[in-house]
Amino acid sequence: MTETDRIKYLRIALLLVGLTFTFGIWPLGIVWPSGWAWHEGGRSEYLEMILGIYATLGVFLMIASRDPMAHRSLIWFTIWSSIVHGGIMGVQSIVNPMHMGHLFGDVAALLAVAAVLAVLTPRQTSVRSDLL
């Protein structure tokens, strides 16, 4: 795959992930709570906090989709934070059988997001002459 193709697909992936983070997590928690909502039943301050964090990240990923190379640090933050968050939730899901559904819900989704963005994000850019 050429670098131009990678960036084109990266732009699409960033837009889709951004939209999902901004608008999709809450409906997923309603439709499939055993795979997306960690504190079911009644109001969850935890879920509200996570929704706020991911909605904010989603907006910035949508902005980054316009010029991914100018936002590589945000993309790599998304990759690594998704790996860490998914890994912690994966361990918690295994330790507490009540949360096994998360292995196929938000854990799998975060690891998939990390994998797709990592594969599509170019590793290096040419050195800008104006910095020399």
Whether this prediction's pTM lies above 0.85 is answered by yes
* 123 band by pLDDT with thresholds 50, 70 and 90: confident
Tokens 């960690």: give the residue. 38
pLDDT digits (tens, 9 = 90+) for 35-59: 888 776 667 788 889 999 999 999 9
How far apart are alpha carbons 75 and 38 in whole angstroms? 26
Helices 3-19 and 72-95 cross at an angle (nearest 10°) of 60
Other Cβ atoms within 10 Å of 43 Cβ, number: 8
| DSSP single-letter state for residue 127 | P
Other Cβ atoms within 10 Å of 46 Cβ, number: 11
